[in-house]
Homo-oligomer: A and B are copies of this chain.
Amino acid sequence: MGHGIKALVFDVFGTLVDWRGSIVREGEAWGRAHGISVDWAAFADAWRGAYHPSMDRVRRGDRPWTKLDDLHRETLDRLLAEFGLAGLDEAEKDHWNRVWHRLTPWPDTVPGLLALKPRFALATLSNGNVALLLNMAKHAGMPFDTILSAELCGHYKPDPEVYRMAYGLLGLEPHEVLMTAAHNSDLVAASQEGLRTAFFPRPSEYGPAQVKDKQADHRFDFVATDLVDLARQLGAI
């Protein structure tokens, strides 16, 4: 193909796994088992809604490095009260917080990764902490070669340190690494550090009312329909 790409690094939440659908499905099953009725889509949206604000406090230096499991837990403790679920014991709260370790991949994710794996090094490049991503990868059967995480450099995306860490640890030049995401802003930040970029949309990541990231808003190196299509464009299928 002559593209010179040696590694793909992946955004995970939304790009490879369906966080919203996973939380809604697990919530509905849990609610039925416990005879509790909750608007799980609203619960999932509120939880994810605190994602960027909570990381931004770390990024601005308003608080020291805090891993995503702990940010998720702080938000969860607030939401459990707001959604009338404050009576959970510690084991139940911890199990709920680890729902992020059990997210379901989109249908094309595992086939796409399996097709890419013989030709490229495959790594996460996510704001999730290492344990979260490793547990999720094993749960979902996502065959990464290694887990790269914001936790390894103490900076959250889109801070430039995260993208620099990726090609540094992989021992590659920036242009040999393809940042893959369903989010325009992640790819713009990666391209500013010299990484190559690949976009495909996840138009229902945020549910039926999604308006953002329905298409590529910039000139990326690759624009695909999903990960299997990207694997095809990269010559792996």
Give A residues with C-beta under 8 Å from B.
69, 121, 129-132, 134-135, 137-138, 144-147, 151-152, 169-172
Residues of B near A147 (CB, < 8 A) are: 145-146
Interchain nearest-CB distance for A57 vs B (Å): 22
Assuming the contacts A138-B121, A145-B138, A146-B144, asked whether A131 and B69 have C-beta atoms less than 8 A apart, the reply is no
Contacting pair A69 B171 (CB below 8 A): yes
Residues of B near A134 (CB, < 8 A) are: 121, 145-146, 170
Residues of B near A146 (CB, < 8 A) are: 130, 134, 144, 146-147
The contact sample of 20 A-B pairs, CB cut-off 8 A, is A69-B171, A121-B134, A121-B135, A121-B138, A129-B169, A129-B171, A130-B146, A130-B169, A130-B170, A130-B171, A131-B169, A131-B171, A131-B172, A134-B145, A134-B146, A134-B170, A137-B145, A144-B146, A145-B147, A152-B152
Q: Which are the 10 A-B pairs with shortest beta-carbon distances?
A: A131-B171, A146-B147, A130-B169, A146-B146, A134-B146, A134-B145, A131-B170, A152-B152, A121-B134, A138-B145
